[in-house]
Amino acid sequence: MGVGGRDQFRRQLGALTNQIREARVRALGVVRDADENAADALRSVCDALAAAGLARPDSHAEFVAAVPRVGVFVMPDGQNPGALEALCRRSIEDSPAGSCVDQYLDCLRDRGGWGNDTNPAQEDKAFAHAYLASRKNPVARVGEGAQQGAWDFEHSAFRPLGEFLRQLVGTPSGDASSGQE
């Protein structure tokens, strides 16, 4: 369920809390980008959960045994700055197209064609956009690329997120077919 991004999360979560309780939701997982600071992103989500009267986990990718059970995953890995695009980049950066996109971004950086205030999250987003532009049917959004099979979701870069989602729905690790929603 989308909540309108990080700027709307606290307000939207507060409005959804009664619906969550009335629907007897068993587990609530929040996945968000670290952006510039993973610790700040986790703290922001946990503060919003507490303000909404929900349990707050102590750390990234862990669940609180409460009703509902609550967990937070901060992309890319709970420690580093970045976003979903970092996982997407890692999943294909060793591919021929990934290598070409890296060369393109290096060229921009070397020739001064890159913005002055780049950070890892911006580089990952630029990588994702350039890679998606190289596809047979170019698209602009990471999600559209996912629908076209652009990202290798079997790559180890996605394992921690996949494990978090399996824990969310109660599926044992390594057995995605036996879970309940």
Q: pLDDT by residue (tens digit) across 60-101? A: 999 999 999 999 999 999 999 999 999 999 999 899 999 999
Mean pLDDT of all residues in the chain?
Answer: 88
Angle between helices 96-110 and 120-133 (to 10 degrees): 120
> Each residue of 28-41: pLDDT tens digit?
999 999 999 999 99
Q: What is the mean pLDDT of residues 144-171?
A: 94
Task: Give the C-alpha separation, 80 to 41, whole Å.
Answer: 11
pLDDT value of position 74 = 98
Residue 94: both structure tokens together: 């060793």
Name the pTM for this structure.
0.85
pLDDT value of position 3 = 73
Is 148 or 22 the better-scoring residue by pLDDT? 148
Is residue 175 pLDDT above 50, yes or no? no
Q: What percent of the chain has pLDDT over 70?
A: 90
pLDDT value of position 180 = 35
Burial (CB count <10 Å: 0-12, 13-18, 19+), residue 92: buried
- Contact present, 87 and 75 (Cβ < 8 Å): yes
Exposed e or buried b per residue across 31-64, where buried means at least 16 C-beta atoms within 10 angstroms of its C-beta = bbbbbeebeebbebbbebbeebebbbbeebbebb
Half-sphere exposure (Cβ direction) of 148: Cα atoms closer than 13 Å: 16
> Each residue of 9-32: pLDDT tens digit?
888 887 788 888 888 889 999 999
**What is the dihedral sign for C-alpha 90, 92, 96, 97?**
negative
